[in-house]
């Protein structure tokens, strides 16, 4: 119950912060929706339709009321999906529908990127720990440090230029595109999985370095413990020691790293999706910010915040699975 209370408090704080932040910045959404129209009656009608003519605190109360899953709809109380309002740019289109169309693309991109980072980072970290002080260890350390220090937007530009332009004849990878594309006639939808490769590779650059360094540090610490030396003395092979003792005991800090970087990948996707034209939640937010479509921006931030909260709950559960001592302490 305490965790649920803290989670609700975090979500309320995020909702409050983004509401007042975007409602105090300059710009009139009604004028943005009507473009060059200067008719005051039309502007007043739009403000009344969207509740923009109400006092700020009244708008805030209505916004929180719409987010509550328990609220009256058409005079009847019940459980309902949170109302994230409608888009200013795409009139009549619910923000929840826009997020539902784009957030799965961002989640898929983040999962593929993180999976790639784990598959590369864990073996590299273990190999570096086993060859500590060697040339290979120093090379892995330098490359992982460079990867960690490289911003996502810079990696996106370099990866796009190298693989989609310089090496395009060999890779055949497109510079931009999303997972689902219309055919030349605009009718059938094609699944273009090749469009996922470059943005996923770009997002995986930084977490590969972090995971490799974390795994190296944890493995070095565990390899110097007495029970590992005892395992070697009993005749266990290196692979058996790594599988039975080193890898399992190094999972706790690795889980923390992975969960934290999944959240970072969702944030970094804003730049990567814009560079590669990937239609995800990040690109949706950028387009909405440019058009001052505040409900879309606020709804996207709330959706990502909810994912972060759920991720933290998942991490706590995984701690208990990996280490029973943590499970006992969380009871």
Lowest mean pLDDT segment, chosen from 56-65, 220-229, 316-325? 316-325
Residue 35 pLDDT > 70: no
CA distances 300 to 14, 156, 218, 280, 322, Å, are: 11, 22, 36, 11, 33
Percent of the chain with pLDDT over 70: 87
Residue 183: band (very low, low, confident or very high) from pLDDT cuts 50, 70, 90: low
Predicted confidence band of residue 328 (pLDDT cuts 50, 70, 90) = very low
Q: Which pLDDT belongs to residue 138? A: 92
pLDDT at 139 over 90: yes
pLDDT of residue 38: 66
Give residue-wise pLDDT tens across range 194-223.
Answer: 888 899 999 888 889 888 988 888 888 888
**With pLDDT > 90 as the criterion, what percentage of the chain qualifies?**
4
User: What pLDDT was estimated at residue 188?
Assistant: 59
d(CA 269, CA 289): 15
Residue with tokens 């479509």: 293
pTM score? 0.78
> Whose CA is closest to 206, among 256, 246, 161, 156?
156
Q: Cβ distance 134 to 216 under 8 Å?
A: no
Is 240 a residue whose pLDDT tops 60? Answer: yes
SS3 for 149? helix
Task: Examine the pLDDT at 330 and tell me if it is beyond 60.
Answer: no
**260/305 Cα distance (integer angstroms):** 13
| Nearest CA-CA partner of 81 in 92, 94, 93, 70 | 70
Least confident of 19-28, 66-75, 255-264: 255-264
Can you give the pLDDT at residue 140? 92
- For residues 114-123, average pLDDT: 90
Regarding beta strands 76-79 and 70-73, do their DSSP bridges make them parallel or antiparallel, or are they unpaired?
A: antiparallel
Domains defined along the chain, listed by start: 2-79 (no CATH), 95-330 (1.10.3720.10)
- Per the prediction, the chain carries an average pLDDT of 80
Contact 277, 69 (CB under 8 A): no
Q: How far apart are alpha carbons 318 and 111 in whole angstroms?
A: 17
- 285 against 248, higher pLDDT: 285
pLDDT in tens, 261-315: 777 777 777 888 888 888 888 888 888 888 778 888 888 888 888 888 887 777 7
pLDDT at 142: 92
pLDDT of residue 27: 66
Token pair listed for 153? 């937007």
Separation between Cα atoms, residue 63 and residue 69, nearest integer Å: 12
**What is residue 322's predicted lDDT score, i.e. its pLDDT?**
60
Q: What tokens were used for 259?
A: 């969960």
Give me the pLDDT at residue 210, please. 87
């Amino acid at each position: 119950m305490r965790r649920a209370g803290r989670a609700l408090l975090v979500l309320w704080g995020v909702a409050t912060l983004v509401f007042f932040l975007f409602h105090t910045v300059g710009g009139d959404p009604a004028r943005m929706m009507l473009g060059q129209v200067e008719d005051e009656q039309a502007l007043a009608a739009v403000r009344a339709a969207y509740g923009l003519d109400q006092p700020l605190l009244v708008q805030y109360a209505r916004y929180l009321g719409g987010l509550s899953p328990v609220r009256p709809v058409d005079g009847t109380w019940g459980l309902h999906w949170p109302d994230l309002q409608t888009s200013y740019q795409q009139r009549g289109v619910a923000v929840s529908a826009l997020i539902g169309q784009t957030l799965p693309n961002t989640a898929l991109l983040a999962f593929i990127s993180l999976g790639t980072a784990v598959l590369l980072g864990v073996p590299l970290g273990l190999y570096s720990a086993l060859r500590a002080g060697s040339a290979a260890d120093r090379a892995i350390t330098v490359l992982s440090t460079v990867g960690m220090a490289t911003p996502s937007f810079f990696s996106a530009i370099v990866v796009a230029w190298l693989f989609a332009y310089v090496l395009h004849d060999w890779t055949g990878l497109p510079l931009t595109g999303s997972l689902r594309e219309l055919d030349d006639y605009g009718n059938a939808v094609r699944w273009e999985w090749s469009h996922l490769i470059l943005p996923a590779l770009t997002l995986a650059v930084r977490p590969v370095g972090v995971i490799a360094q974390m795994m190296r540090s944890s493995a070095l610490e565990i390899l110097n413990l007495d029970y590992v030396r005892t395992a070697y003395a009993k005749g266990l092979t290196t692979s058996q020691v790594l599988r039975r003792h080193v890898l399992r005991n190094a999972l706790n800090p690795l889980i923390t790293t992975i969960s934290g970087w999944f959240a970072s990948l969702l944030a970094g996707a804003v730049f990567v999706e814009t560079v590669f034209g990937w239609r995800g939640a990040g690109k949706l937010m950028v387009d909405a910010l440019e058009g001052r479509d505040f409900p879309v921006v606020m709804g996207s931030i709330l959706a990502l915040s909810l994912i972060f909260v759920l991720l933290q709950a998942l991490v706590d559960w995984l701690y208990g699975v990996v280490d029973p001592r943590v499970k006992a302490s969380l009871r």
